[in-house]
Amino acid sequence: MNFIDKLKAARKNKGLTQAQLSEKLQALGRKVSAQQISSWERGDYLPAHRNLSAICEILSLDLDYFTEKSGQGEIHPVAHSESDLPSEFSLVDKRKGAISAGPGLRPDNDVDLCLAFRNDWLEQFGGAKQLFVIKVEGDSMEPTLKESDTVLINKNANAIGTGGGIFAINWHDMSMVKRLQMKPQTDEIIIKSDNPNYDSMVVKPNEILIEGKVIWYGRELR
């Protein structure tokens, strides 16, 4: 069995619905919704190691149930390298530092760990190597992005276009995530925060470096 089938089978064998498993995970301090469990069981993405450990505790399983090779030679998460993944997944680098939804942070481009996403979803963005993941710090992009959210950045998407969007930028050697729009009838860029308590700024294109566009975010329930 693959990871998806194993998780479904173990949950049902324990007589739990996805909602009931979510409640038990939350009782252990893991902020996991029934929707997240549904995503795991569809194979949209893989649970973090700490969530998988909590699942094993609830379902009375050893972690090897998910991580050992099966008789068919399948390998299941948690993944530490590409070879640990089912073939339908690829790893995206997660940068060690944070990106500021506020006044800015010094960038840290070292890789902390990796997150797994489905290849068929990643292909529309050019594959895993064109993406990186980083944590948000600050409140200037609330309510859209909140403190400690994880965002996925597409390095290929650095054109603002007519509709604008949320981008990772470097401005005066500070890394931040902001909404960008072109100022009408000029070549200037408006740097905006979704939080109305923060002022907008107007800059020339050569004053900022656009690292990529935010295409996905993940959030723990609080």
Same domain, 102 and 190: yes
- For residues 51-67, give the mean pLDDT: 83
| 123 & 183 share domain | yes
- Of all residues in the chain, the percent with pLDDT exceeding 90 is 42
Q: Which residue has the higher pLDDT, 222 or 99?
A: 99
Question: Based on the domain organization, do 96 and 78 belong to the same domain?
Answer: no
Answer whether residue 74 shows pLDDT above 60: no
Is the confidence at residue 205, as pLDDT, over 50? yes
Same structural domain, 24 and 103: no
pLDDT score recorded for residue 72: 32
Interhelix angle 3-13/34-42, rounded to 10 degrees, is 130
Half-sphere exposure of 114 (CA within 13 A, CB side): 19
CA distances from 176 to 2, 84, 128, 132, 145 (A): 39, 33, 22, 14, 12
Model confidence at 106, pLDDT cuts 50, 70, 90, reads: low
Q: What is the mean pLDDT of residues 21-37?
A: 90
The CATH number of the domain where 115 resides is what?
Answer: 2.10.109.10
How many separate domains does the chain show? 2
Asked if residue 113 and residue 51 are part of one domain, the reply reads no
Global confidence as pTM:
0.62
